[in-house]
Amino acid sequence: MVVMAHAVGSPEFYWAIVAEVSLLVWTGLLLVAPRLSGLAATAGASASWGSPPPCWPP
C-alpha cells in the first residue's frame, strides 16, 4: 500500500510532482552535460577529471 504525504488535488501534491520531475531532469543534465560539452569526447570516456586536456602544452 502506498501512503501519500499530500491529498490528491491539493497544491502541495502538484508541487511534489513538479519537484520530483525537476529533480530527475537536473540529474539527467548533470550526467549528460559533460558529453554534450565535448569534455568526454575529447578526453576519452575513461579519462578522470584530474587529467589535463589532450592539447596540454608539454
Tens of pLDDT, residue by residue over 3-39, are 566 778 888 888 888 989 999 999 988 888 877 776 6
Asked if residue 42 has pLDDT above 70, the reply is: no
Q: Using an 8 Å Cβ cutoff, are 40 and 34 in contact?
A: yes
**Secondary structure (3-state) at 53:** coil
pTM over 0.75: no
Give the model's pLDDT for residue 1: 41
What is the C-alpha separation between 52 and 12, in angstroms, rounded? 47
Give the model's pLDDT for residue 57: 65
- Average pLDDT of span 30-51: 65
Give the model's pLDDT for residue 22: 93
- Cell numbers given for 27: 540529474
